[in-house]
């Protein structure tokens, strides 16, 4: 069973003549350790798909299931707890909180979840160290470069026991070298068992994914077939 499952998800904005169908009967899943890239033209519903998957927005229809739990059955606070503990979100424009240092930005989800400041900081420093940013831990966002900010944002998205990483154009504001580095980090997270879904315009970056889903006008128009897993290959080996 997939870690993230979207079942016949529909999202409609407005009503009557002003109705806009952003997503129409979209179904897809992301397995543990899997990386799915979502591509499509502007207005195709990519970001809406991500926000619905991340419990930031309610679908008009269908169901979102994360780790076997349906979001529709969760309260507002349950969803907030899910975002603190399970879902990591990476935005195109980083969205680091001004006034907090890089380390404080990374430790924020843990502290919000009740972890003591000292332990949260230790965890944040470890996450930053893995991303090669520990020496910039005390710097404020406006003292970091674009690439550094996005690395901090990724550190914040993966710190703790996050098992679902959602990234909305994570390399949109970066040059090609930094973009590739970001994708490398997301892939590294996936190798630890994190399920990831990345929205991108860049076909080269999408190529890093296990599977690419194409959206147009809110519907899935195409998707690459995921490569068979080793287990599947073994089980489907030469028949006697």
Chain contacts with other proteins (rule: CB under 8 A): 51, 54, 56-57, 76-77, 80-85, 87, 89, 91, 93-100, 104, 107-117, 119-120, 122-124, 126-127, 130-131, 141-142, 149, 156, 158-162, 185, 188-189, 191-192, 194
207: tokens are 């190529």
DSSP code at position 24:
E
Q: Which is nearer to other proteins, 117 or 233 (CB)?
A: 117
Q: How far is the CB of 233 from other proteins (least distance, A)?
A: 26
Contacts of 129 (CB under 8 A, 6+ apart): none
Query: With 0-12 CB in 10 A as exposed, 13-18 as middle and 19+ as buried, what is 227?
Result: exposed
> Which strand ranges, in their side-by-side order, compose the sheet holding 87-90?
87-90, 164-168, 195-199, 35-39, 211-216, 219-223
Distances (CA, A) of 200 to 44, 96, 122, 144, 238: 12, 20, 32, 23, 38
Helix (H, G, I), strand (E, B) or coil at 20: strand
Question: Computed from CA positions of residues 167, 67, 112, 54, in that sequence, does the dihedral angle turn out positive or negative?
Answer: positive
Q: Which is nearer to other proteins, 93 or 175 (CB)?
A: 93
Q: How far is the CB of 200 from other proteins (least distance, A)?
A: 18
151: tokens are 């690395």
Distances (CA, A) of 195 to 3, 4, 184: 7, 8, 14
């Amino acid at each position: 069973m997939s870690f993230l499952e979207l079942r016949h998800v529909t999202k409609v904005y407005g009503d009557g003549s002003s109705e806009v169908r952003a997503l129409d009967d979209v179904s897809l899943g992301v397995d543990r350790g899997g990386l799915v890239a979502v591509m499509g033209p502007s207005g195709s519903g990519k970001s809406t798909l991500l926000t619905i998957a991340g419990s930031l927005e309610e679908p008009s229809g269908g169901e979102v299931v994360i780790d076997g739990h349906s979001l529709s059955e969760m309260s507002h606070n349950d969803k907030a707890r899910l975002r603190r503990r399970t879902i990591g979100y990476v935005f195109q424009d980083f969205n680091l909180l001004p006034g907090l240092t890089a380390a404080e930005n990374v430790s924020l989800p843990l502290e919000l979840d009740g972890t003591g400041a000292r332990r949260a900081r230790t965890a944040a420093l470890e996450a930053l160290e893995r991303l090669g940013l520990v020496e910039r831990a005390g710097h404020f966002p406006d003292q970091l470069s674009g690439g550094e900010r996005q690395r901090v944002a990724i550190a914040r998205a993966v710190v703790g026991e996050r098992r679902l990483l959602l990234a909305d154009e994570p390399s949109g504001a970066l040059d090609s070298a930094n973009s590739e580095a970001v994708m490398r980090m997301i892939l590294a997270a996936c190798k630890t068992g994190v399920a990831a879904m990345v929205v991108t315009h860049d076909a080269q970056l999408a190529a890093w994914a296990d599977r690419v889903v194409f959206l147009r006008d809110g519907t899935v128009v195409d998707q690459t077939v995921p490569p068979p897993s080793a287990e599947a290959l073994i089980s489907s080996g030469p028949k006697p």
